[in-house]
Chain A
Amino acid sequence: MIELKNISFSYGEQLILNNFNLTVNGGECVQLYGVSGSGKTTVSRLILGLENADSGNVIVPQKISTVFQEDRLLENIDVQKNIRLVLSKEQYSFADSLLKEFGLYDIRKKKISTLSGGMKRRVALVRAIAYSGDALILDEPFNGLDIENKQIAANIIKREFIDKNKPVLLITHIKEDAELLDAKIVNI
Chain B
Amino acid sequence: MIYTTTQTKQTFFKKIIKVILIATFWILVWEAASRLVSRNNELLLLILPSPFTVLKTWIKIAFTPNFIISELLTLSRIFIGFIIGSFLGFVIGIITHISAIVYSLLSPILKIIRAIPVVAIIILMYLFFESSTLPVLIVCLMVLPLIWQTVHDGLKNTDKTLLEMSRVFDLSNRKTLVSIKLPSITANLITSCVNALGLAWKSGVAAEVICLPNISLGTMLWQGKGSVNFDEVYAVTLTVVVLSLIIEYFLKFLCNKYLARNGGVLND
B178 to chain A, nearest CB (A): 10
Residues of B within 8 A of A75 (CB): 263
Residues of B within 8 A of A131 (CB): 169
- Scan residues 56-102 of chain A and give those whose CB is less than 8 A from a CB of chain B: 63-64, 66, 68, 70, 72, 74-77, 85-86
Contact check, B164 vs A86: say whether CB atoms are below 8 A apart: no
Q: How far is the CA of A127 from the CA of B142 in the complex (A)?
A: 44
Q: Give B175's nearest chain A residue, CB to CB.
A: A85
Residues of A within 8 A of B180 (CB): 74
B268 on the A face (CB < 8 A):
no
B33 on the A face (CB < 8 A):
no
Contact check, B263 vs A50: say whether CB atoms are below 8 A apart: no
A55 on the B face (CB < 8 A):
no
Contact check, B168 vs A76: say whether CB atoms are below 8 A apart: no
Chain A at the B interface: SS class: loop
Q: Give A112's nearest chain B residue, CB to CB.
A: B263
Contact check, A76 vs B262: say whether CB atoms are below 8 A apart: yes
Q: How far is the CA of A55 from the CA of B263 in the complex (A)?
A: 45
Total number of residue pairs linking A and B with CB closer than 8 Å: 39
Residues of A within 8 A of B175 (CB): 85
Query: Which residue from A48, A64, A86, A113 sits with its C-beta under 8 Å from B171?
Result: A86
Contact check, B183 vs A76: say whether CB atoms are below 8 A apart: yes
B57 to chain A, nearest CB (A): 50
B144 to chain A, nearest CB (A): 28
Contact check, B162 vs A74: say whether CB atoms are below 8 A apart: yes
Q: How far is the CA of A131 from the CA of B183 in the complex (A)?
A: 23
Contact check, B263 vs A70: say whether CB atoms are below 8 A apart: no
Q: How far is the CA of A49 from the CA of B171 in the complex (A)?
A: 15
B168 to chain A, nearest CB (A): 5
Q: Contacts A50-B167, A76-B262, A111-B263 given: A70-B161 contact, CB under 8 Å? A: yes
Q: How far is the CA of A68 from the CA of B166 in the complex (A)?
A: 12
Contact check, A64 vs B162: say whether CB atoms are below 8 A apart: no
Q: Contacts A76-B262, A76-B263, A113-B263 given: A64-B168 contact, CB under 8 Å? A: yes
B179 on the A face (CB < 8 A):
yes
Residues of B within 8 A of A66 (CB): 168
Contact check, B262 vs A85: say whether CB atoms are below 8 A apart: no
Q: How far is the CA of A86 from the CA of B167 in the complex (A)?
A: 10
Contact with B along A6-49 (1 / 0, CB 8 A): 00000000000000000000000000000000000000000011
Q: How far is the CA of A179 from the CA of B161 in the complex (A)?
A: 29
Query: Which residue from B164, B168, B170, B183 sits with its C-beta under 8 Å from A74?
Result: B183
Contact check, B161 vs A72: say whether CB atoms are below 8 A apart: yes
Contact with B along A137-165 (1 / 0, CB 8 A): 00000000000000000000000000000
A70 to chain B, nearest CB (A): 6
Q: How far is the CA of A113 from the CA of B260 in the complex (A)?
A: 13
Q: How far is the CA of A77 from the CA of B262 in the complex (A)?
A: 9
Q: Give B162's nearest chain A residue, CB to CB.
A: A72
- Scan residues 117-145 of chain A and give those whose CB is less than 8 A from a CB of chain B: 127, 131
- Scan residues 199-240 of chain B and give those whose CB is less than 8 A from a CB of chain A: none
Residues of A within 8 A of B171 (CB): 85-86
Residues of B within 8 A of A127 (CB): 169
B246 to chain A, nearest CB (A): 30
Interface pairs A-B: 6 shortest CB-CB: A86-B169, A72-B165, A76-B262, A48-B168, A113-B263, A72-B161
| 19 more CB-based (< 8 A) A-B contacts, given A50-B168, A76-B183 | A48-B164, A50-B164, A64-B168, A66-B168, A68-B164, A68-B165, A72-B164, A74-B162, A74-B179, A74-B183, A76-B262, A77-B179, A85-B169, A85-B175, A86-B170, A86-B171, A111-B263, A113-B263, A127-B169
13 contacting pairs across A/B (C-beta < 8 A): A48-B168, A50-B164, A50-B167, A63-B170, A64-B168, A72-B162, A72-B164, A74-B180, A74-B183, A76-B263, A85-B169, A86-B170, A127-B169
